[in-house]
Amino acid sequence: MLKLANALIAVIAGVGGTVVLFWLMNKAVESLPETWENRLKPYVFIGPAVLVVTLFLIYPALRTVYLSFYDDRSENFVGLDNYGTLFTDPSLRLAITNNLLWVAVVPISCVAFGLLVAVLADRLSPRFESVSKSIIFTPMAVSAVGASTIWLFVYAWRPAGTSQIGLLNAIWTGLGGDPIAWVQVSNFRLNSFLLMVIMIWLQTGFAMVLLSSAIKGVPTETIEAARIDGASEIQIFWRVTVPQIMSTIVVVFTTILIAVLKIFDIIYVSTGGNFNTDVVANRFITELFDFRRFGLAAAIVVVLMLATIPVMVYNVRQFREQEAR
């Protein structure tokens, strides 16, 4: 209870403090001559936000780049050694390969399932449409840790001869197979794929919502015209609908791509990176906390950050285009 009281005090102090701060700064600039007031006021408004972002994101990020050129204890300059380790160390290479596999599978699967649900639900009565969409969307509210627990229960394993409590093994043994400890089987990356299922389960709802509203925005005339020309429903979907919602598909795809690049919680909770399931962001935590190799850990996140730069550039360009209009 004391903690909640503290939190309440923090809210009041935090909000009250910010209000007072803005009020004081505003009063201060208003007392200046008018030209100076107009010149400085915008900076008073953006000041606190810019300060927080600089202190908690920009400066630490630059500092991390700097640290990535230093050794484990951040004492001696080592040049590009950490980056060399990054691409030669077998366990890191495994993590990078797995990450690429995630990137190749998850975003496209989410888009595909999202499209499928959006199209199928669109044909139902409004009531069933909204029910089925809600079912697919609900996992968006579930945390990655919660989702991992939910699915680990589906993948649960009991020795042969005892009754299975995991749904997957129950089905599998029902079909005549021997019970399998699914998350430990890394042949053909089976366990990695099963962990990807968790992410797909979490993210498909997001894809579905955006894609569904895009599909509903496709002008009916274009579909009618294609139908009069004798196109089948499937042709209409691929040749008329999909091209018109392409920009939404790109947004959904890149958003999930960014999330998958940094995928961490699912792996940390379900396998801890064992059984050949490790990924880059989990490796970062391992290097940081278990091995305390700060230089290498820094290099890992710098590479992650570099991987997001194309998306960053794309976002900025989109913004510029919007502003120009």
Partner 1 sequence: MSVTPPPTADERQVDERTRQAPGAKGTGRRRRGKLLSNLALLFLCLLWLLPTFGLLVSSFRDEDLVKGTGWWTVFANLADFSQWTLENYSEVLQAGMGNAFLNSIAVTVPAVVIPILAAAFAAYAFAWMRFPGRELLFIVVIGLLVVPLQVAFIPLLRFYSTLGLTGTFPAVWLAHTGFGMPLAVYLLRNYMGSLPNEVVESAQVDGASHYQIFWRLMIPLSTPVLAAFAILQFLWVWNDFLIALIFLGSTEANQVVQLVLANLVGSRGQDWHLLTAGAFITISVPLLVFFTLQRYFVRGLTAGSVKG
Q: In whole angstroms, what is the distance from residue 172 CA to residue 162 CA?
A: 14
Q: Taking the complex as a whole, how short is the minimal distance between the CB of residue 87 and partner 1, in angstroms?
A: 19
Q: Taking the complex as a whole, how short is the minimal distance between the CB of residue 101 and partner 1, in angstroms?
A: 19
DSSP annotation string for 169-225:
HHHHHHTTPPP--GGG--GGGHHHHHHHHHHHHHHHHHHHHHHHHHHHTS-HHHHHH
Q: Which is nearer to partner 1, 91 or 318 (CB)?
A: 318
Q: Which is nearer to partner 1, 113 or 276 (CB)?
A: 113
Backbone angles phi, psi at 70, to 5 degrees: -115, 170
CB atoms within 10 A of CB 303: 18
Q: Which is nearer to partner 1, 11 or 32 (CB)?
A: 11
Nearest partner of 203 among 90, 318, 109, judged by Cα = 109
Q: In whole angstroms, what is the distance from residue 214 CA to residue 224 CA?
A: 17
Q: Which is nearer to partner 1, 33 or 126 (CB)?
A: 126
Nearest partner of 207 among 90, 318, 115, judged by Cα = 115
Q: In whole angstroms, what is the distance from residue 191 CA to residue 217 CA?
A: 39
Q: Is 134 exposed, middle or buried (0-12, 13-18, 19+ CB in 10 A)?
A: exposed
Q: Taking the complex as a whole, how short is the minimal distance between the CB of residue 187 and partner 1, in angstroms?
A: 22
Q: Taking the complex as a whole, how short is the minimal distance between the CB of residue 78 and partner 1, in angstroms?
A: 16
Write out the two tokens for 73: 């204890």
Q: Taking the complex as a whole, how short is the minimal distance between the CB of residue 110 and partner 1, in angstroms?
A: 12
Q: Taking the complex as a whole, how short is the minimal distance between the CB of residue 190 and partner 1, in angstroms?
A: 18
Write out the two tokens for 316: 């900025």
Q: Taking the complex as a whole, how short is the minimal distance between the CB of residue 165 and partner 1, in angstroms?
A: 5
Q: Which is nearer to partner 1, 48 or 177 (CB)?
A: 48
Q: Which is nearer to partner 1, 206 or 276 (CB)?
A: 206
Helix, coil or strand: residue 116? helix
Q: In whole angstroms, what is the distance from residue 319 CA to residue 317 CA?
A: 5
Q: Taking the complex as a whole, how short is the minimal distance between the CB of residue 151 and partner 1, in angstroms?
A: 6
Q: Which is nearer to partner 1, 105 or 211 (CB)?
A: 211
Task: Say if CB 208 and CB 113 are below 8 A apart.
Answer: yes
Q: Which is nearer to partner 1, 90 or 126 (CB)?
A: 126
